[in-house]
Structure 1
Amino acid sequence: MAIQRMDNVAVVVDDLEAAVAFFTDLGMEVEGRGEIEGSVPDGMLGLDGVHTAIAMLRTPDGHGKLELTQFHTPAAVTVGPPDPPPHTLGLHRVMFAVDDLDDTVARLRRHGAELIGEVVRYENAYRLCQLRGPSGILIALAEPIG
């Protein structure tokens, strides 16, 4: 049996409103918001007393989804350094294709995003960069060229 699709990527954040503002300025659209608590998240996550606020965002084409989750209880935990380097094991980053890399970087910097490294060119195919956004989230941007 094969999977049907990848439904979403979930990211735990410490400030849901700041993260929503960052990703909507990137160009994602809020699909829905909610508060989640009770036996279902407790059982699924193996935690007691889960109470979260979530925002589900989607890319303009409707295919990519990002779930932003802020834990009210239990408090979110940090493992390792607060801003791990790009070669840290585990979930690495989320990449987005954009039509104007320079404009996108400028807009995200207004939300506190920091460029990691520099904007580079990969052959005659892409301009690429990585940024660190809210809650230390790493995102990569790719602008098709040529």
Structure 2
Amino acid sequence: MTVKRMDNIGIVVEDLGETIAFFRELGLELEGRSTIDGEWAGRVTGLDDQRVEIAMMRTPDGHGRLELSRFLTPPTVADHRDAPVNALGYLRVMFAVDDLDETLGRLRNRGAQLVGEVVQYQDVYRLCYIRGPEGLLIGLAQELT
């Protein structure tokens, strides 16, 4: 049996409302928001007394999703948000955008900061990394045609 699809990427945040607003500005749609708790949830994650507020964000094409989670209990135990680009483990999510400059301008109004600079890769892409809400590393790519 093979994988059918990648369903979502999970990101743990402290301020769920601000993070939802940021990704809405990027163009994602809020599918739903809920609190998850109970014995079954702890069995899945290995965290006993788990209570988590989640929001599911969907890309406009309907193929990609981000699951944003804010842990109420237990408290978060590690913080990888300031890790550099060459850190081990999951690092960033990359979004294809229509207009990199316009998107970057809108996200800067929500506090995004450019990590390096906007660069052009051959005649194929314009790319950049930004730090979004809570220091999350996000890639933006505009395909050149």
TM range (shorter): over 0.9
Could you tell me how far apart the structure 1 residues matched to 2:14 and 2:78 are? 10
Aligned counterpart, 1:91:
90
Could you tell me how far apart the structure 1 residues matched to 2:134 and 2:72 are? 15
**CA deviation digits over 1:40-80, x for unaligned, max 9?**
21111111211111000100000001100000111112246
RMSD (Å), alpha carbons: 1.1
- Amino acid in structure 1 at the alignment position of 2:37: E
Q: What are the equivalent positions in structure 2 for 1:59-78 lying under 5 Å apart?
A: 59-78=59-78
1:128 aligns with 2:127: yes
Q: Tell me, which stretches of 5 or more residues in structure 2 are unaligned?
A: none
Could you tell me how far apart the structure 2 residues matched to 1:145 and 1:26 are? 19
**CA deviation digits over 1:73-96, x for unaligned, max 9?**
11112246x511111000021000
- Amino acid in structure 2 at the alignment position of 1:105: L
Could you tell me how far apart the structure 2 residues matched to 1:11 and 1:109 are? 20
* 1:108 Cα deviation from its structure 2 partner: 1.0
Aligned counterpart, 1:105:
104
1:48 aligns with 2:48: yes
- Amino acid in structure 1 at the alignment position of 2:56: M
Could you tell me how far apart the structure 2 residues matched to 1:58 and 1:139 are? 16
Could you tell me how far apart the structure 2 residues matched to 1:98 and 1:79 are? 28
1:13 aligns with 2:13: yes
Could you tell me how far apart the structure 2 residues matched to 1:72 and 1:88 are? 27
**CA deviation digits over 1:16-63, x for unaligned, max 9?**
001000000000000111000011211111112111110001000000
Could you tell me how far apart the structure 2 residues matched to 1:79 and 1:122 are? 32
Q: Tell me, which stretches of 5 or more residues in structure 1 are unaligned?
A: none
Structure 1 runs (4+) greater than 6 angstroms displaced:
none
What TM-score do the two structures reach when normalised by structure 2? 0.96
* 1:136 Cα deviation from its structure 2 partner: 2.1
Aligned counterpart, 2:118:
119
What TM-score do the two structures reach when normalised by structure 1? 0.95
Equivalent residue pairs, number: 145
- Amino acid in structure 2 at the alignment position of 1:136: G
Query: Counterpart of 1:117 in 2: which secondary structure?
Result: coil
